[in-house]
Homo-oligomer: A and B are copies of this chain.
């Protein structure tokens, strides 16, 4: 179940911004319209709109129309998937470390060196 690298890129990039993480948090605690969200930050409505778009592209939130408002809702599963993605990364890396340990243990004189 290898997570697509591109997906991970978008996911981590989306979360690598304080405002966006805050939006995720806010929209987890009850849905909020984009304009209501915009009131919470020292930036324009359009700017917040863009942040929401980035989160949406990463699959972290989704929008649902309700009358003339657009309600933003955090996808809790997506947040979990984000955590799992990092966990998987860590597992891969850790796996490498483990295999490395094995190699070191049984390593004798095999000194390989590739030169292009």
Task: Identify the A interface with B (CB < 8 A).
Answer: 5-6, 8-13, 15-18, 21, 24-25, 28-30, 39, 74, 76, 79-80, 82-83, 86-87, 89-90, 92-93, 96-97, 99-100, 116
Contact = CB atoms under 8 A, between A and B. Distances in A.
A29 B97 contact: yes
A3 to B, nearest CB: 11
A6 B9 CA distance: 19
Q: Quickly give the copy total for this chain.
A: 2
Which DSSP category, helix, strand, loop or mixed, fits chain A's interface? helix
Given A12-B16, A29-B99, 7 more contacts: A9-B18, A11-B16, A13-B13, A16-B16, A79-B90, A79-B93, A80-B90
A25 B100 contact: no
A47 to B, nearest CB: 17
